[in-house]
Amino acid sequence: QITLKESGPTLVKPTQTLTLTCTFSGFSLSTRGVGVGWIRQTPGKALEWLALIYWDDDKRYSPSLKSRLTITKDTSKNQVVLTMTNVDPADTATYYCSYRNTTPWVDYWGQGTLVTVSS
């Protein structure tokens, strides 16, 4: 059974760096074809794809956020970490961790974690 769970701060101040961790089980991020990514849902309900890391450490980012995002993995801990620098109130959203296997869509989602950016 594949599960993913996001963790991180619920409140971040503008200009700070946000660090989110996805802890997963039921698969290995060293298996060929597997990828773990991040998607967020803004308060206005829009979904936005953010970043993805593959089993071979290939990393992909949303072009509009690329300069602010870093995604890394720790295969031994079954974790993926997303960092976002210089956050702004517009980054207030529910952040979801996601699993996919060779496909350009989500197979499984985490429950999401709400992050508020406010001073």
Instruction: Give CA–CA dist 82/104, Å, rounded.
Output: 19
From residue 45 to residue 84, the character string flagging contacts with another protein as x (rule: CB under 8 A) and all else as - is xxxxx--x-------xx-x---------------------
Residue 2 in the binding site for another protein (CB under 8 A): no
Is the Cβ–Cβ distance between 21 and 1 less than 8 Å? no
114 binds another protein (CB under 8 A): no
Tell me: does residue 104 bind another protein (CB under 8 A): yes
Contact between 96 and another protein per CB under 8 A: yes
What's the CA angle centered on 118, arms 117 and 119, to 5 degrees?
140
Determine contact, residues 80/36, Cβ cutoff 8 Å: yes
Binding-site ranges for another protein (CB under 8 A): 41, 45-49, 52, 60-61, 63, 96, 103-112
